[in-house]
Amino acid sequence: MNKKNLISITDFSKEEYLRIMELSQKFEDNPNQSLLKGKVIATLFFEPSTRTRLSFETAINRLGGKIIGFSDSNSSSVSKGETLHDTIKMVSNYADLIIMRHPLEGSARYAAEVSDVPVINAGDGANQHPSQTLLDMYSIMKTQGRLNDINLFLVGDLKYGRTVHSLLMAMSQFKNPIFNFVAPPELAMPDEYKLYLSNKGIRYFEHLEFNNIINQADIIYMTRVQKERFIDPVEYEKVKNVYILKNEMLENTKPNVKILHPLPRINEIHTNVDGNPKAYYFTQAKNGVYTRMAIISHLLNLL
Amino acid sequence: MQKQLNVSAIKDGTVIDHIPTKALFKVVQILKLDQFDNMVTFGNNLDSKVMGTKAIIKIANRYFEDEEVNKIALVAPNAKLNIIRNYEVVEKRVVQIPEQVNGIVRCFNPKCITNAENVYTRFQIINDKPIEMKCYYCEKITYENEIKIK
Ligand SMILES: [Zn+2]
């Protein structure tokens, strides 16, 4: 069986990344399609995530498909104790594709094994959320015109942040990236990722705070530094204002630089950045719809 | 002396030596020796020059495929097998950590789907000494000191 899934970002090859970029652009140019006409897509949200669900459901609607599913497990048979195995077995008999979010890690990989139809992982606990990475890449591609030679600043929680890890893995497939990690020691980029970059001969630099070096950035990818991540609350108090991006910090940055953020933002990007043309996070979220249209079309071979 | 030898010696079968004492029952579990009809003899807390104390298992009339016995390397990486035929050791083998470990070990990650549902676990060994194994499902690493047999 030649069923394709998207569970982890590394499931896709570089060629597939580029294919998704190309399709995303195509759908952005022509968002209303009928490629999914006559098809049923299941969106199974075993935990609520309104933002992600609406983005996927908009993508399905724009492609002309029909949706079945649930938005949290309380309204589904799961609350009656049905196993994931049985839910997926049942739904894969009804739908042409399953999009799922689940609090347990590895649940999407398991569902893909059980299901007869393709599965898209819309988040499995703290593990993977590959459509986010693809929309991040599309945002980079769109604003920089390329995925090669990008100087990428990753800021904030680089230890637990799954989005930054996936983005690092994906962007490492392209030529000459430079990674700059800006994080407190408690939330530094884990060694396994640094080792991965070293083994591939990719340059990276670590910084404890923003400094003049952000003037070299093409992309500044912000994430939130959460209090819960610190064992010692004093350490959090010390660094909580260090990783906040303010408009004045962007003064001497490159004209092409764009600020990305997976959203929701709390306070890590000051609202005075929002009006700056370098702020891109809201457009980035909008790009997610086109990228998700692209992922669905790719997995179902619609084009 | 003579009597003791009669109890422990086997005519044909496999002797698994150099098992860490705390791993004896895990080895029993992995090889499912509790379900064997053949004669199985255990010795635990035996003196060992190399290990201080060790455990040993003798299984009459039973030989193991590499794939089967390599599973015990997860808990007894230095185990040695003596293949016995007609009271003679005809072959000595060491165990090797397999590249894939399927269905034996529990994933250390409490939030892993394999700990919530009846999923056959799958790991890839990414380091042998000490053992580090990556779960195929949650992608988290289980380290040697965290290994629990399912
Ligand atoms: Zn796992």
For A6-37, b/e burial (b = at least 16 CB within 10 A) is bbbbeebeeeebbbbbebbbbbbeeeebebbe
Tell me whether domains B13-94 and B100-149 share a fold.
no
Closest-CA residue to A36 (of A298, A287, A289, A286): A298
- By DSSP bridging, strand B105-106 and strand B148-149 are antiparallel
Other Cβ atoms within 10 Å of A236 Cβ, number: 17
Class of domain A32-128: alpha beta
Closest-CA residue to B64 (of B40, B31, B36): B31
Domain ranges of chain B: 13-94, 100-149
CA-to-CA distance for A291 and A133, rounded, in angstroms? 10
Residue from A53, A62, A87, A101 carrying the catalytic annotation: A101
For residue A106, the distance in angstroms to the closest alpha carbon of chain B comes to 4
Q: Is A129 considered catalytic here? A: yes
Report cis status (omega within 30 of 0) of the bond before A264.
yes
* Residue pair A175/A201 in contact by the 8 Å Cβ criterion: no
Structure tokens at A12: 């896709």
- The residues in B 111-150 lying below 8 A from A, measured between CB atoms, are 111-114, 116-119, 135-140
Question: Which chain B positions have a beta carbon within 8 Å of A126's beta carbon?
Answer: 111
Architecture label for domain B100-149:
Roll (2.30)
Tens digit of each residue's pLDDT (9 = 90 or more) over A226-252: 888 888 899 899 888 889 999 999 999
* Residue pair A205/A214 in contact by the 8 Å Cβ criterion: no
* Residue pair A262/A132 in contact by the 8 Å Cβ criterion: yes
Backbone angles phi, psi at A264, to 5 degrees: -75, 145
Question: Which chain A positions have a beta carbon within 8 Å of B107's beta carbon?
Answer: 106
Instruction: Give the pLDDT means over successive 10-residue stretches in chain A (303 positions).
Output: 90 97 98 97 95 97 97 73 93 98 97 98 95 98 98 96 95 98 95 96 95 91 90 88 93 97 92 97 97 98 93
* Residue pair A171/A165 in contact by the 8 Å Cβ criterion: no
CATH topology assigned to domain B13-94: Alpha-Beta Plaits (3.30.70)
| Alpha carbons within 13 A on the beta-carbon side of A197 | 25
Tell me whether domains A32-128 and A131-285 share a fold.
yes
Per-residue pLDDT of chain B (150 residues; tens, 9 = 90+): 444 444 468 899 999 999 999 999 999 999 999 898 889 999 899 888 888 999 999 999 999 998 889 999 989 999 999 999 999 999 999 999 999 999 889 999 999 999 999 999 999 999 988 899 999 999 999 998 898 887
Q: Per the CB < 8 Å rule, is A105 touching B139?
A: yes
For residue A64, the distance in angstroms to the closest alpha carbon of chain B comes to 33
For residue A201, with 0-12 CB atoms within 10 Å meaning exposed, 13-18 middle and 19 or more buried, which class applies?
exposed
The DSSP result for B29-79, as a single string, is HHHTGGG--S-EEEEEEEEETTTEEEEEEEEET----HHHHGGGGGT-TT-
Class of domain A131-285: alpha beta
Smallest Cβ–Cβ distance between A105 and the set B112, B117, B118 belongs to B112
Domain ranges of chain A: 32-128, 131-285
CA-to-CA distance for B86 and A264, rounded, in angstroms? 73
Q: Per the CB < 8 Å rule, is B140 touching A105?
A: yes
